[in-house]
Structure 1
Amino acid sequence: MPHPLRVGLVGYGSAAKTFHAPLISATPGLELVAVASRRPDQVRAERPSLEVEATPEALFARADIDLVVIPTPNETHHALARAALLAGKHVVVDKPFTVTVAEARELEALARDAGRVLSVFHNRRWDADFLTLQALLDEGRLGRVVQFESHFDRFRPEVPQRWRESAASAGSGLWYDLGPHLVDQALQLFGQPLGISLTRTTLRDGAEVDDYFHALLRYERLQVILHASTLTAEPGARFAMHGTAASYLKHGLDEQEAALKAGLFPPDADWGRDERDGILTEWHDGQPGHERVPTRRGDYPAYYAALRDAIRHGAANPVPAADAIAVMRVIEAGCLSAAEGREVPFAAEEVVA
Structure 2
Amino acid sequence: MSAPVQTALVGYGYAGKTFHAPLIRAATGLELTTVVSSRPAEVHADLPGVTVCDFETALADPVIELMVVATPNDLHAPQAIAALKAGKHVVIDKPFALTTAEAEAVIAAAKAANRLATVFHNRRWDGDFLTVKHLIETGALGEISLFISRFDRFRPALRNRWREQALPGSGLWYDLGAHLVDQAICLFGTPDAITLDLAQQREGSVVDDYFHATLFYGARRVRLQASALTPAPGPRFEIHGRLGSYVKYGLDTQEEGLKAGQPVGGEGWGTDRDGVLTPVSGADPLPPLAQPTLPGRYPAFYKGMAQAIHGTGPLPVPAEEALSVMRLLDLGRRSAETGRTLAL
Instruction: Identify the match of residue 280 of structure 1 among 262, 277, 280.
Output: 277
Partner-residue secondary structure (3-state), 1:91: strand
2:82 is the alignment partner of 1:83: yes
Instruction: Give the Cα separation in 2 of the matches to 1:74 and 1:115.
Output: 24
The residue number in structure 2 matching 1:29 is: 29
* Bigger mean CA deviation after superposition, 264-273 or 301-310: 264-273
Is the contact between residue 2 and residue 310 of structure 2 (CA under 8 Å) also seen in structure 1?
no
* Equivalences for residues 31-110 of structure 1 within 5 A: 31-53=31-53, 55-110=54-109
2:190 is the alignment partner of 1:192: yes
Partner-residue secondary structure (3-state), 2:236: strand
- Matched residue pairs, number? 343
The residue number in structure 1 matching 2:294 is: 296
User: Displacement of 1:287 after TM fit?
Assistant: 4.8
Q: Percent identity?
A: 51
Deviation digits for residues 62-101 of structure 1, max 9, x if unmatched?
A: 0110100001100000110010000000000000000000
Amino acid paired to 1:113: A
Instruction: Give the Cα separation in 1 of the matches to 2:286 and 2:41.
Output: 60
User: Displacement of 1:259 after TM fit?
Assistant: 0.5
Instruction: Give the Cα separation in 2 of the matches to 1:90 and 1:287.
Output: 51
The residue number in structure 1 matching 2:118 is: 119
* Equivalences for residues 225-304 of structure 1 within 5 A: 225-274=223-272, 276-284=273-281, 286-304=284-302
Deviation digits for residues 37-86 of structure 1, max 9, x if unmatched?
A: 11111111221111111x21110110110100001100000110010000
2:129 is the alignment partner of 1:134: no
Is the contact between residue 95 and residue 174 of structure 2 (CA under 8 Å) also seen in structure 1?
yes
Partner-residue secondary structure (3-state), 1:227: strand
User: Displacement of 1:314 after TM fit?
Assistant: 4.7
Task: Compute the TM-score of the two structures, normalised by the length of structure 2.
Answer: 0.98
Instruction: Give the Cα separation in 2 of the matches to 1:235 and 1:41.
Output: 38
Amino acid paired to 1:29: G
Task: Compute the TM-score of the two structures, normalised by the length of structure 1.
Answer: 0.96
**Structure 1: gaps of 5 or more residues:** 347-353
Instruction: Give the Cα separation in 1 of the matches to 2:170 and 2:225.
Output: 17
Instruction: Identify the match of residue 217 of structure 2 among 206, 216, 219.
Output: 219
User: Displacement of 1:319 after TM fit?
Assistant: 0.7
**Structure 2: gaps of 5 or more residues:** none
RMSD over aligned Cα atoms = 1.0
User: Displacement of 1:284 after TM fit?
Assistant: 3.3
The residue number in structure 1 matching 2:11 is: 11
